[in-house]
Chains A and B, each alone.
Chain A
Amino acid sequence: MRQWGSISMGLAMMVITAWMVITALDWPFRAALFPVVIGISVFLMASTDVLISFLGRKEASLQQSSIDFQLTKDVEREVATSRTLWTVFWIFVFFLLILLLGFQLSIPIFFILFLKIKGREGWGISIGLAVLAWVSFYGLFVLILDTVFIEGWIQQGLKALGVVG
């Protein structure tokens, strides 16, 4: 049985390493040595992996599992895919909020949105945890560690327009 996911991963690796090696060939020896040596080795290994996956050899399908964290298998495939996509969506929502509003504002907003909509939690828990997260963030990273957090695009835009000082 051919494993299209594995084949795609291997092909992607081949394309990336080929591009890296070709790019590195234009550089002086000092800078090119390591990328070329490693790039060619990885390209050859990726080609072998693709070939094994393409031929669908028995060993490939039976023994390819890595000794690493395994994704849960006791949830139906469709349900798992849908939940995965929703989680990725929420991760991007948090990232976009940070980009637009900065860390300080986006933390409570994300917590309330996530806990209310995704977690279906009550208002008490949602607001309580949002406050806890914000206080922990502000106390540790802003007050104690004095970490500089850049403002979001909206604040920067408003400042540029002279709406806020």
Chain B
Amino acid sequence: MLDAFIGGLLLVFQWESFLYLLIGATIGFGVGILPGLGGGETLALMMPFIYKMTPEQGLPFLLGMHSVVATTGDITSILFGIPGESTTVATIVDGYPMAKKGEAGRALGASLMSSLIGALIGAGFLAVSIPIVRPLVLAFGSPEMFMVIILGLTCISTLSGHGKRGLLRGLLAGGFGFLCSMVGQDRQAGILRFSFDSLYLMNGLPMVPVMLGLFALPEIIDLSVQETSIARSLPQGKVSKGVREGVKDTFRHFWLTVRCSIIGSFIGIMPGLGGSVAQWVSYAHAKQSAKTLEEREGFGKGDIRGVLGPGAANNSKEGANLIPTVAFGIPGSVGMAILLGAFFLLGLVPGPDMLTKHLTLTFSMVWTIVVANIIVVAVSLLFINRIANLTMIRGNLLIPFILLLCLIGSYTASKHMGDLIVMLVSGGVGYLMVRFNWPRPPFILGFILGPLAETYLYAAMARYKAAWLFRPKVIVILILAIAAAVYPFVQEKRLARKEARNEAMG
């Protein structure tokens, strides 16, 4: 085992492998920054290039690219309030307000450093967990997977609004996301649902235009309303000053970063859940780490912990995501499904062979994630001042570029003008949600996980009828979901009582 571990490292540093890793990481760097151009899509676009490559060249190229996308995706989320990737939406919640306050450098420093720590922990997780993870993944059937999704949605709904009304609106938004995910051809019966006989809507609402519209258009409108730069009228030097502070913040909240990385890793190994869930659960965890009511209310307004949590989880889930893909051939995400296809193109068959015959190659994947992330974080930190200064550019100069990125990013979803209409309509919905205080994160989580939730629910009903509700693991997850919904209120009351007592004592 140790030989394979060291062999993997040496394999990555063979000049050809290393060169391909560098090319992949460079592409991933750009893809992460560009909104709408996702890691999965780029993996697919790069597939034709690997036909003539050996596994030692092809895997560093693809994995080097895929593993750094979330790292640089955070940069766009923080600077422009646009998700660079679907997995970096949560970073906007606190990262973008920080950029607006002139703390873009600090947020970027924290995000990059937590991403690196997350990537290292995720890679470590991959290395140590391969032999022990199989029983855990196989123990979860459709009912449990459905309940895990409900748990994720409850967590984010609870934490995306203040008070009981916030919880209600969070769940409402999540349910609305579920409903929107039903547009198109039904997978169970083949019936066209809510598609208005449109050929375009047969495949459902494309995820990228929905996300770009929902998250980017309200921000573009707001930037235009302000008629200033993203960092408004703060002095020029202030934006880039905090980078070191951001890096220090990561170590100041080191255990939070580690915990969020572990959360990301655990979610990463669950097939189908991936980064979209990991970022929000870790955000929720970061928020729960607030010790006072005042601290908690600072989330969403630029709390550094809201950047550290998702930043770490986004990257740690990459390594963990590889576990079911490599070990069982079960892709954990869209990107992993495409990577699975690449395995076959390179002549590799996921399964026991990857843990015996190709163990060195499997460990080289661990090292690829580590090395690619170290390089990209180092390069980003080197140029972070220049990147952060983008927030000082006048809004009027930025708006057409951001709008162009949104429109092209949307169009690349299915190369259809309908993508642009979906983006504009989603933008309208997103604006109304922001305007009337409906949280958007639960909506997007419901929208992403809707098809999966439906499949699991139907499979559970078809196999167990209503009895699936009484399975012990389902009951345990249900109790966890209820606890997740109730806990913030209990915690809030306890904190309020504690503060009142402190005030009374003087």
Residues 140-185 (chain B) with a chain A CB within 8 angstroms: 159-166, 168-172, 175-176, 178-179, 182
Assess whether A71 is in contact with B225, with CB atoms less than 8 Å apart: yes
Given contacts A5-B435, A13-B172, A67-B93, whether A31 and B193 have CB atoms under 8 Å apart is yes
Assess whether B420 is in contact with A98, with CB atoms less than 8 Å apart: yes
B188 at the interface (CB under 8 A from A): yes
Assess whether A64 is in contact with B166, with CB atoms less than 8 Å apart: yes
Assess whether B225 is in contact with A84, with CB atoms less than 8 Å apart: yes
B281 at the interface (CB under 8 A from A): no
Assess whether A145 is in contact with B45, with CB atoms less than 8 Å apart: yes
Of B401, B412, B432, the contact of A9 (CB 8 Å cutoff): B432
What are the interface flags for B91-126 relative to A under an 8 Å C-beta threshold, 1 for contact and 0 otherwise?
Answer: 011001100000000000000000000000000000
Size range of the interface on B?
Answer: 35 or more
Assess whether A67 is in contact with B161, with CB atoms less than 8 Å apart: yes
Across-interface contacts of A98 in B (CB, < 8 A):
407, 417, 420
Assess whether A38 is in contact with B178, with CB atoms less than 8 Å apart: yes
Given contacts A31-B188, A45-B172, whether A23 and B194 have CB atoms under 8 Å apart is yes
Secondary structure at chain B's binding surface: helix, strand, loop or mixed? helix
Given contacts A34-B457, A41-B175, A111-B400, whether A69 and B434 have CB atoms under 8 Å apart is yes
What are the interface flags for A115-127 relative to B under an 8 Å C-beta threshold, 1 for contact and 0 otherwise?
Answer: 1001111000100
Assess whether B457 is in contact with A72, with CB atoms less than 8 Å apart: no
Assess whether A141 is in contact with B408, with CB atoms less than 8 Å apart: yes
* Closest partner residue, chain A, to B432 (CB atom): A9
Give CA–CA (A148, B400) in the complex, Å.
Answer: 22
CB distance from B163 to the nearest CB of A (A): 4
B277 at the interface (CB under 8 A from A): no
* Closest partner residue, chain B, to A48 (CB atom): B168
Assess whether A39 is in contact with B179, with CB atoms less than 8 Å apart: yes
Assess whether A38 is in contact with B411, with CB atoms less than 8 Å apart: no
- Which of B54-62, B212-220, B359-367 lines the interface with chain A? B212-220
Ordered by A's residue number, 20 sampled pairs between the chains whose C-beta atoms are within 8 Å are: A6-B436, A27-B186, A34-B453, A42-B175, A42-B179, A49-B168, A59-B165, A64-B165, A65-B161, A68-B437, A71-B435, A75-B225, A83-B224, A84-B221, A103-B408, A115-B397, A119-B397, A137-B408, A147-B415, A149-B415
